[in-house]
Amino acid sequence: MEPKTRFAVVGAGAVGGYYGAMLARAGNEMHFLSRRDADAMNRDGIEVISPNGDFTVTSVVAHSDWQSIPECDVVIVAVKSTANDDVFARIADIVKPDGVVLLIQNGIGAEIALAAALPESVEVVGGLAFIGSQKTGPTQISHFDYGALTLGVFATDYAPAPTGNRLNDLVEAFTAAGVVISISDSLLAARWQKLVWNIPFNTLSVILDATTAELISNDATYRLAEQMMAEVMAAAAADGCVLPSDLPAGMLTATKAMTPYSTSMKVDFNAGRPLEFEAIAGGALSRARSTNTPMPVLETIYQQLAFVDSRLHG
Amino acid sequence: MEPKTRFAVVGAGAVGGYYGAMLARAGNEMHFLSRRDADAMNRDGIEVISPNGDFTVTSVVAHSDWQSIPECDVVIVAVKSTANDDVFARIADIVKPDGVVLLIQNGIGAEIALAAALPESVEVVGGLAFIGSQKTGPTQISHFDYGALTLGVFATDYAPAPTGNRLNDLVEAFTAAGVVISISDSLLAARWQKLVWNIPFNTLSVILDATTAELISNDATYRLAEQMMAEVMAAAAADGCVLPSDLPAGMLTATKAMTPYSTSMKVDFNAGRPLEFEAIAGGALSRARSTNTPMPVLETIYQQLAFVDSRLHG
């Protein structure tokens, strides 16, 4: 990717702030949209606290409003999925006609709405972040664990899409910035695969107010997680994505070995923020319904989450 | 019933304390088992605070141990179902060979274990209490609402049982004491019918930490309650109890009109007591499995309750 690549990051939180700061440190031109923290970021830059070494980038330009953001080669969208409607309506204004929009988000289905809001000439790339990080101040991101990103090109209806020059340039930029990238030739399969873990643990941690360690060490919730994983595997297969059959067992074993962990939905819940239950549970259910795949456990838990979420707004 | 009828009440809590005090006021010989509060009850009697008029009965005999309880004509068991194993093992010692054991409890299935622990000559009667009451002190029961009792004779495997003399005597004693009694010729149907309400509202109120008013006024939990009621109706029908088809709609409407209410399971949860989830959810599931009736929503919620319950002990 040319050194003059210009990036925008919409959503300068735990995820967007981290990857944006990594790209800034590598010398890319970075624009951040942050209604609340633009002034502080223009004054202090962004500080990343990380086991890989702390650093601060001061070269970033922060904007409190869409209007002042110049047209960018790459727009990274890393807002919570609950903000998608508002954000997607504005992206076309800040991306070049031959640019790329990278959506780093949990859940499944959002790229369909994103692509519909953009000219066909813009490439949509889906990203899945495997990272433990948190925004710990207006200009501070604390990075705890991992940091890899899986990228896949989005084509109409999640059809398998060829890797083109624009994705390669993006991979090069991230790699040069020290971010480990995997490329998936099926974005849909990558999204389903992440849901195999996210669906049980995000949802149950909120409904039962529990850490991953509590859920995995109790027989009843271990079984429930297993059942939910089986439901996701079946829905994925019916959706054309046959995932490795030993994936659930491997994830359960890995979860047993994890330090007790608050899932992203639990972190949102604890902070009183809207839950990403539509993107995660609703997105999976909606694709499963279109293939007539029953997900009875998730159907129940989806409605419980709708209740919990509505109480957060109430 | 002869004036010299002798009653024992095992479980002198909100339910057993209330009905026992009513029977005592009517002149019956009453023995209460209460490990913790026997001394206080022997000193102060039992006080009932009620919209129907407060009263105190001082004639009761309280026992801190099974050994001192004489053989009784009627033993009322009103412990939480979580104590059944321990209690059922002792009942045969305190009931006359031609006596009656009345089990006032939520859930389904417990009479099978109770009958198995008693000589065949003892009659087992199931009771369902429709009452709002609470134990508000060592010797004080606060009665808020209702108070009716539905009674049904238990026959092997919940077969419909004829109403005999012993049930009639019991009804007479309760009626003379001012308790409104309905007799059900199918104890099994009466238990299923109560579960139509108890299953959704007891379980969801605990899992979602909610009052009945919150659950009924939210679209998602209203739907979930409807689905759970439909599951119970189907399981009851497969179990030989076709309940009136307008029962769920009527219960939902009645619940909308209720003042916000903490279910009995929620009261137990708030007090850190074991949950009656095995008797209520587990009992229904076990009968549904024996007729191959799917209860997918309840299966999920049962496992969530098992988690919540295990954390209460942890």
**Numbered ranges of CATH 1.10.1040.10 in chain B:** 189-313
**Predicted pLDDT at A314:** 65
- Helices vs strands, H then E, count in chain A: 13, 10
CATH number, span B189-313: 1.10.1040.10
pLDDT at B314 over 50: yes
Out of 3.40.1160.10, 3.30.450.40, 3.40.50.720, 3.20.10.10, which CATH number does the structure's domain A6-185 have? 3.40.50.720
Write down the residue that tokens 């050994």 correspond to. B67
- A304/B221 touch (CB, cutoff 8 Å), yes or no: yes
Tell me if A124 sits within 8 A of A154, measured CB to CB: yes
From the number of C-beta atoms within 10 Å of its C-beta (0-12, 13-18, 19+), residue A226 rates as middle
**Numbered ranges of CATH 3.40.50.720 in chain B:** 6-185
pLDDT at B2 over 80: no
| B266 labelled catalytic | no
Task: Provide, as residue numbers in chain A, all residues whose Cβ is less than 8 Å from the Cβ of B277.
Answer: none
Q: Is A136 on the interface with B (CB under 8 A)?
A: no
Q: Is A313 on the interface with B (CB under 8 A)?
A: no
* Beta-bridge partners for A278: none
Pick from A254-258, B33-37, B63-67, B258-262: least confident? B258-262
Nearest in space to B25 (alpha carbons), one of B49, B53, B55, B63:
B55
Give dist(CA B226, CA A17) in Å, integer.
44
Tens-digit pLDDT profile for residues A253-275 = 999 998 877 899 999 999 999 99
Which tokens is A309 given? 């979420």
Q: Is B53 on the interface with A (CB under 8 A)?
A: no
Find, in chain B, the residue whose alpha carbon is nearest to that of A227: B300
Task: For residue B301, give Cα distances in angstroms to A285, A307, B17.
Answer: 18, 15, 31
pLDDT at A4 over 80: no
Strands A140-153 and B61-63: unpaired
pLDDT at B150 over 60: yes
Nearest CB among A208, A219, A307 relative to B304 is that of A208
Residue from B217, B219, B226, B300 whose CB has the most chain A CBs within 10 Å, to mutate: B300
Pick from A207-216, A255-264, A302-311, B239-248: least confident? A255-264
Tell me if B28 sits within 8 A of B97, measured CB to CB: no
Mean pLDDT over B152-157 rounds to 95
- B297/A301 touch (CB, cutoff 8 Å), yes or no: no
**Predicted pLDDT at B261:** 76
**Predicted pLDDT at A216:** 96
**Predicted pLDDT at A72:** 98
Tens-digit pLDDT profile for residues A171-220 = 999 999 999 999 999 999 999 999 999 999 999 999 999 999 999 999 99
Q: Is B218 on the interface with A (CB under 8 A)?
A: yes
Mean pLDDT value across chain B: 95
Residue of B96, B135, B194, B256 with catalytic role: B194
Amino acid in the structure at residue A222: Y
Mean pLDDT over B145-156 rounds to 95
Tell me if A131 sits within 8 A of A15, measured CB to CB: yes
pLDDT at B1 over 50: no
Q: How many angstroms away from the CA of B263 is the closest CA of chain A?
A: 18
Task: Please report which confidence band the pLDDT of residue A114 belongs to, taking 50, 70 and 90 as the band edges.
Answer: very high
Task: For residue A48, give Cα distances in angstroms to A17, A25, A44, A147.
Answer: 9, 11, 12, 13
pLDDT at A1 over 70: no
**Predicted pLDDT at B262:** 83
- B307/A223 touch (CB, cutoff 8 Å), yes or no: no
Task: For residue A305, give Cα distances in angstroms to A204, A266, A301, B223.
Answer: 9, 12, 6, 13
Above pLDDT 90, what percent of chain A? 92
